[in-house]
Amino acid sequence: MKSIPFAFTGEVLPLVGQGTWMIEKTARDRAVEAIRTGVDLGMTVIDTAEMYGDGIVEEIVGEAIHDIRDRVFLVSKVLPSNATYDGIRRACDRSLKRLNTGYLDLYLLHWPGAHPIDETIRGLESLVASHHTRFIGVSNFDSKDLKGALQALRNEQLACNQVLYHLGDRGIERRVIPFCERRRIAVMGYSPFGHRDLPTFPASVNQIALRHNCTHRQLALAFLIRNGVFAIPKASSMEHLRENAAAANIALTPEDIVEIATAFPMPSRDAPLGMI
């Protein structure tokens, strides 16, 4: 599995990991098996959140990784409504309990909320100090929000911004990716398949998939991770998991990339950050 350094952290992580939103809709034993299979396939970044299934998804993840915790880079997220200094500490404790682990690798604010970012950042930083999480970050933050978060930091750095990124929404390429690259913040793209269906592929892009002997979804993943953005597709089917893991090793040529980028262009002007 193709892996690269995760921002400044010193961790080398696979470019394709695993999402878990709505995995509670799959029978529990199959969901647990899917997550474990994903790890065996090298997709060791597991993304979850207190919001998913009202905590049930964190419990499923906890069950899946109970004996393989040290092989996993575990990411969870706090709801903005819980993101006061005390609220974030309580939320993290609840998540750790459900996940059946003593620490997270990365804890993110799920999206910008009403509580002052300075207080949220203080809460997040305190969780690093108390070893509840190794790294902290944000999600759904545009460059303006990122500036506010960076100004609030005292002791830690932002390791990651998790944002929407798929062939039908390449908006983050305009402002967010350049900003994060300058500040050494890893970009983790969520919903790489647009949550459900891919856009229709024109014949020119179909040809590229044929040449690489890969599926449309594999081609989409290979394109999205081409410049070091981490992707976290959610899959509960074994076949999908295998497909997604293998996509990290597809070597697109510069001509392939131009062709795909032309078929699925980034927006021609600045627009609000996309969010699901």
Q: Residue 82 Cβ, how far from ligand NAP at the closest point, in Å?
A: 15
User: Could you tell me the two tokens for 137?
Assistant: 């970050």
Under the criterion CB under 6 A, does residue 264 sit at the interface with ligand NAP? no
> Do 166 and 224 contact (CB within 8 A), yes or no?
yes
Under the criterion CB under 6 A, does residue 243 sit at the interface with ligand NAP? yes
| 101 Cβ neighbours under 8 A, 6+ residues apart | 62, 65, 69, 74
> Do 91 and 82 contact (CB within 8 A), yes or no?
yes
Residue reference for tokens 């929000």: 145
Amino acid identity for residue 239 in this structure: E
Distance, in Å, from the CA atom of 95 to the CA atom of 89, rounded to the nearest integer, reads 10
Instruction: Mark the segment that binds ligand NAP (CB under 6 A) among 6-14, 63-71, 179-187, 193-201.
Output: 193-201
Known catalytic membership, residue 190: no
For ligand NAP, the binding residues in 201-220 under the rule CB under 6 A are 217
69 CB-contact burial (10 Å; exposed 0-12 / middle 13-18 / buried 19+)? middle
User: Whose Cβ is closer to ligand NAP: residue 27's or residue 258's?
Assistant: 27
Under the criterion CB under 6 A, does residue 244 sit at the interface with ligand NAP? yes
For ligand NAP, the binding residues in 24-53 under the rule CB under 6 A are 47
Under the criterion CB under 6 A, does residue 20 sit at the interface with ligand NAP? yes
Active site residues: 52
Residues that bind ligand NAP (CB under 6 A): 19-21, 47, 110, 139-140, 162, 190-196, 217, 232-237, 240, 243-244, 276
